[in-house]
Structure 1
């Protein structure tokens, strides 16, 4: 709890050069097949341009716990789970809890996404979050346009007035690891979702 309170203060005091979502209404997020995302179902999160190189977890910085959320260009990725309070589908523009429950992880912390302070105006998307905490509230936004129906990006943008609202993108760490991050110069990272149970070459062990 002590590690969360200072970060919450930073979030209220610091607003990056981004603006909250305006003029849009929540709608069901759909996978590549056009089906709404469901809670308690695993989805691969792939880059816009490929059916590979998915989101997973890894040890970055000093190779310590908790694990950070990364993009692995050499693997299919790990199943990602989403939940929205009181809803039986996953909508856009709504506070979500995001979890990557990898089995056999060397780190014992929860695998719920949270924002983790790294430097001035910069955060990694890490794990160890507690559902409901301010630092675990992420949103998914659909790319605008008639031909962008299945294209989305993540945002850290809790539904609380005055809190940081900024896109989640990728940052290349010193060793080349592509870490999901929020901060100055971080652009949205556009993705598509593939339901694990309907993927023809299922591989739940890749991370």
Structure 2
């Protein structure tokens, strides 16, 4: 009688994230973030929302026909080519912006909420860049974004869902919220 013994001593790798077509979501590949429920608006994009033209914030487009802006996911550990659930990553919009700012997502406080904006710093996980790290987690029949970075051992960040918060001016910010924004990924 033979037995099989596992030689790997580490934890199993987290589950790989899949796109709308069931293919693996990969680092550096262009995707759109779309709501799972059709008829609930379009994709994720950038817009000026603070009664001034800059900075640009991450918002949920009002029109269903608007796929939003293409973006990429980059694990904090750049050696990994496949995006996995519950691992720290940077999210970066692609394309030229009208504002002089980075395309990397980050959290900032605005109008009593922690909203997602796009002037973060990619990579270099540290206490100074902790607001730039997000995670993708399985959520019902789709996924959700979560802010709960593990890149800083000494930091004690909040661990919350990223949902849609409607601002006083009607903007649909992606922001820290109890109710997650249920999403899927579509290759651009």
Note whether the superposition's TM-score is higher than 0.5.
yes
**Structure possessing the higher relative contact order (Cα contacts under 8 Å, 6 or more residues apart):** 1
| 1:143 equivalent among 125, 139, 144 | 139
Provide the residue aligned with 1:90 in structure 2. Answer: 83
Which stretches in structure 1 are left out of the alignment for 5+ residues?
1-23, 197-207
| 2:160 equivalent among 152, 166, 171 | 166
Q: Deviations for 1:57-95, whole angstroms, at most 9, x for unmatched residues? A: 000122242210001122121112101122011111000
Conserved 8 A contact 1:69-1:125: yes
Length-normalised TM-score, structure 1 = 0.74
Matched, 1:116 2:140: no
Which stretches in structure 2 are left out of the alignment for 5+ residues?
1-11
Provide the residue aligned with 2:68 in structure 1. Answer: 77
Length-normalised TM-score, structure 2 = 0.81
CA distance in 2, matches of 1:93, 1:141: 6
| 2:181 equivalent among 189, 198, 202 | 189
Q: Which of the two has higher C-alpha Rg?
A: 2
Count of residues in correspondence between the two structures: 164
Larger strand share, 1 or 2: 2
CA distance in 2, matches of 1:25, 1:167: 22
Give the aligned CA root-mean-square deviation in angstroms. Answer: 1.9
Provide the residue aligned with 1:157 in structure 2. Answer: 148
Provide the residue aligned with 2:46 in structure 1. Answer: 57
CA distance in 1, matches of 2:51, 2:175: 16
The Cα of 1:25 is off from its aligned counterpart by 6.2
Structure 1's consecutive aligned runs of 4 or more residues displaced over 3 angstroms after TM superposition are none
Q: Deviations for 1:97-148, whole angstroms, at most 9, x for unmatched residues? A: 1001232x2111111000011255x21100110123111010010015xxx3
Mean CA deviation greater in 133-142 or 154-163: 154-163
